[in-house]
Structure 1
């Protein structure tokens, strides 16, 4: 206890340097824990981009490619699915619901998704959360109605009742536009933090109406053009779609339905389990995740080296202090223990301040981060893994404190009271 009081008094005497050292350790610790929480929640959010869907069905390709274009709106399908194939599996006795997806068009860089009203009823994300409308309603019988994702509406400043023109293809700038068939905004979805926010949703009939008079990727000319009014009177059942999301009556039937789809003789199809494909995709990004963790560890190491530098720098100035302590009966190991206690006190204060900064940061940023990025950062106690990180860093601080302690131990044996200033 005497050594601890002396160590604290010594740090108080050098309070400015000590506070800077504590703050440096606190910032590095806060960064490390923040990175860990963001990594964990990003992984959980990534895994819950789609929730409650048992199978994703598309043209036969790779599982990651199918996941990317059907869920994340990245890339393009290798082929389409015939409408009769979709109906065949939508009516399968083990299928509870089916959501058709049709991709291919865009609007100012944002993807357009043709789907049915089952999308708003059954699509789930983030641990079984349902899509909610912030304004308006889902599209209805009129094929030229669109429901915007939150990011689309905010970035392009669209409101209910606004008219917009879709473009053919997915380029940011397209010269081929469906300007003869404008769409009216009837709904805006609440923010989800998923690719839904960056998507414009129209009905399958609307997607079909856009391409009634298109051939080989080009619009018809003159009298062959079909107006929006005439398109409303025609049969707008699609001939093909891009992908299907399936929900089953029983999880037990997942593999049997998947096998039936993969072995379907009508056309080459692929059915994937979203969770398995998500893990496969996440593993491809594991290098960047680990690199971020290593960078944050080096930041913590920099903070600890700063502590070591501060103690070593003050050591020469404190040689008379050590000599006086020796004259009062302190043994060399007392001197070494004093330096170790100082390093421990600095590191412990840095850890506590780092935790405080972390929780303050989470409290301030929790709502906007969840709203804009879909990441929920919980204000809970450190996890066992985080405690192990804190313990490892405290142990590293004790080891680093052993360096100045050893030097002080050696000097105190040689100096006595004969030090020359």
Structure 2
């Protein structure tokens, strides 16, 4: 206890250098914990981009490809699904709800998705959070030319309720084929979710069908063959095909049986995937980047500890008079060595405490912003067992590094005795 008080008094005597060392360790510890917490929560948030959905069904391809275009709006489907196939599967007694999805068009680089009002009722993200309207209302299934915007689309393009927009054929950023004869009216803007929903324009299936009702072989009809928006409203806009659909089942027990039945569907080749399994498979492909970020943060911690070691070693020659005085009052060489080890532990311990304070201060300031922009929820909780283990590893590394100046001080105190030989 006397040695600890002496170590703290010595650090207080060199308070400016000690503060810089503590602050460097605090920043590195804060960064390590922040990276670990963001990494953990990002993985949880990624896994809950879609929640409450039991199966995603699309044309037979790969599970990751199906997940990418149906949930993340990345890539394209290999084929469409007949509307009759969707109705057959949706009518199964084990199915609680079914959400059809029709893709293929875009607007200024953002994807357009055709669906029905069941999407707004049953789609869940995060911790089973439902979609909410920020402004306006959801579109109506019987009004084909209404569009509901994701938050990012509305904010980046500065769209407001009542504005009329023109959609484009295909998903390229620059489109030459525009559906300019059938503009859509913005009737709603969704609250921000931090998911691909924010980057999507939502229209009804009837609206998607109306856009292409007079198109043949990927090009619009010409002359008198063109069908106006008013004419399209009077026609049967039941879709002939969709891109994919999501299923919610009455019982989780039926999930695997339903998945097997869909994969063996005789009407056409289909693929049903469990969203959670596909998300974990997709996340594993990004594991290298995740580990690289963690390794970088470890090197930052190592840099902070090396800075501490350098500061202690640099001060050794200046403190030889101090050590000679300690020897004159009865301190043994191992007391001097222990003093240096305790200083290293004290610097690191204070750095860890300050790092925790900085971490929670950062969470308090940024948690709402991260939640609204990226859907990333950072919990204001005590460190987990793994985080405590990381902090313990930092303290252990400091202990090992503290033995280096301690050994030098031990040797110097033996050779100097009560006199100083510089």
The answer for the alignment partner of 1:55 in structure 2 is 55
The answer for the alignment partner of 1:95 in structure 2 is 95
The answer for the alignment partner of 2:292 in structure 1 is 291
Where does 1:213-252 land on structure 2 (aligned, <5 Å)? 213-252=214-253
Where does 1:119-130 land on structure 2 (aligned, <5 Å)? 119-130=119-130
The offset of 1:418, in angstroms, is 3.0
Q: Distance in 1 between matches of 2:3 and 2:269?
A: 77
Cα deviation digits, residues 147-180 of structure 1 (max 9, x gap): 0001100000011101100000001110110001
The answer for the alignment partner of 2:370 in structure 1 is 369
Where does 1:383-394 land on structure 2 (aligned, <5 Å)? 383-394=384-395
Q: Distance in 1 between matches of 2:259 and 2:5?
A: 69
Q: Distance in 1 between matches of 2:233 and 2:215?
A: 16
Residue 350 (structure 2) pairs with residue 352 (structure 1): no
The offset of 1:349, in angstroms, is 0.3
SS in 2 for 1:98: strand
Where does 1:174-323 land on structure 2 (aligned, <5 Å)? 174-323=175-324
SS in 2 for 1:103: strand
The answer for the alignment partner of 2:115 in structure 1 is 115
SS in 2 for 1:159: coil
The offset of 1:142, in angstroms, is 1.3
Residue 80 (structure 2) pairs with residue 85 (structure 1): no
The offset of 1:397, in angstroms, is 0.5
The offset of 1:327, in angstroms, is 1.4
Q: Distance in 2 between matches of 1:96 and 1:2?
A: 71
Cα deviation digits, residues 337-378 of structure 1 (max 9, x gap): 000110011000000000000000000001111000000111
The answer for the alignment partner of 1:17 in structure 2 is 17
The answer for the alignment partner of 2:325 in structure 1 is 324
Q: Distance in 1 between matches of 2:244 and 2:2?
A: 73
Residue 45 (structure 2) pairs with residue 45 (structure 1): yes
Q: Distance in 2 between matches of 1:101 and 1:387?
A: 45
TM-score normalised over the length of structure 2: 0.99
Q: Distance in 1 between matches of 2:160 and 2:40?
A: 35
Aligned positions, number? 421
Residue 25 (structure 2) pairs with residue 5 (structure 1): no
The offset of 1:321, in angstroms, is 1.1
Cα deviation digits, residues 45-91 of structure 1 (max 9, x gap): 00111001000000000000000000000000000000000000010
The offset of 1:417, in angstroms, is 3.0
The offset of 1:228, in angstroms, is 0.4
The offset of 1:256, in angstroms, is 1.0
Q: Distance in 1 between matches of 2:258 and 2:10?
A: 72
Gaps of 5+ in 1: none
Task: Calculate the aligned-residue CA RMSD, in Å.
Answer: 0.7
SS in 2 for 1:102: strand
Q: Distance in 1 between matches of 2:421 and 2:36?
A: 50
Q: Distance in 1 between matches of 2:306 and 2:86?
A: 62
Q: Distance in 2 between matches of 1:44 and 1:4?
A: 43
The offset of 1:420, in angstroms, is 3.9
TM-score normalised over the length of structure 1: 0.99
Q: Distance in 2 between matches of 1:5 and 1:281?
A: 53
Q: Distance in 1 between matches of 2:254 and 2:52?
A: 15
The offset of 1:122, in angstroms, is 0.4
The answer for the alignment partner of 2:71 in structure 1 is 71
Deviates more, 1:54-63 or 1:312-321: 312-321
Cα deviation digits, residues 72-117 of structure 1 (max 9, x gap): 0000000000000000001011111000000000000000000010
Where does 1:154-165 land on structure 2 (aligned, <5 Å)? 154-165=155-166
Q: Which ranges of 4 or more aligned residues in structure 1 deviate by more than 3 Å?
A: none
Q: Distance in 2 between matches of 1:301 and 1:363?
A: 27
SS in 2 for 1:158: coil
